[in-house]
Amino acid sequence: MDFMIIGWWTLLVNYGLFPLVTMDVDPMSSKERSLPVIVEKNGIHYPSYSEPDDSVFVVVDEMPLFKVDYTLKNIKKQKDYSNRMLIEYIQENMKYPKGWGDICLQGFIAVSFVIDEKGKVSNPEIRKSLHPALDTIVLKIIMDMPPWEKAPKHRGKPVKVKYTIPVHIN
């Protein structure tokens, strides 16, 4: 049986990625508990406070950062910087097919991928397609992406996380 860990995740993009993280509070004891994870088994989701060893998370305590500017002490500024660098990387490497100068195609391609414990990117997949030729280009950009400088962590240990981003096409 394959298990996949998923949680609540909101991805908003307007020159950046902003995850929505919630805390679960026990009203009976007023103590904070760890976020529950949702285990998917045969298409059915079950809440769990423990996870299988080779889990892929959607929400983690410390999200990965593509690039890190260590002069920035504020984590929000570091996230903003990382998101700008990710957008810049994708824009620099986006090479449109020949003959696309006359075609007016606008929208976005949603692509998800896994960032492992060492920051390496794997398993890219198109979640929302705009055009098959553009999907292929975006997948190549993601596969050629250098390792992320700050790997994801959950409950203090490095983990794999599934990351979804939109790639805007103008």
In this prediction, residue 93 carries a pLDDT of 94
Instruction: Give the amino acid at 23.
Output: M
pTM (global) more than 0.85: no
> Looking at residue 20, what is its pLDDT?
36
Please give the chain's pLDDT, 170 residues, in tens. 333 333 333 333 333 343 433 333 333 333 344 556 655 555 565 566 665 556 788 888 899 999 988 888 888 999 999 999 999 999 999 988 777 766 678 899 999 999 999 999 999 999 999 989 899 999 999 999 999 999 999 888 899 999 999 999 87
Count up the domains in the chain and report the number. Answer: 1
Please name every residue paired with 167 in a beta bridge, in sequence order, or none if there are none.
Answer: 109
**Which residue segment(s) compose the domain that 114 sits in?**
4-169
Q: If 0-12 CB within 10 Å is exposed, 13-18 middle and 19+ buried, where does residue 90 land?
A: middle
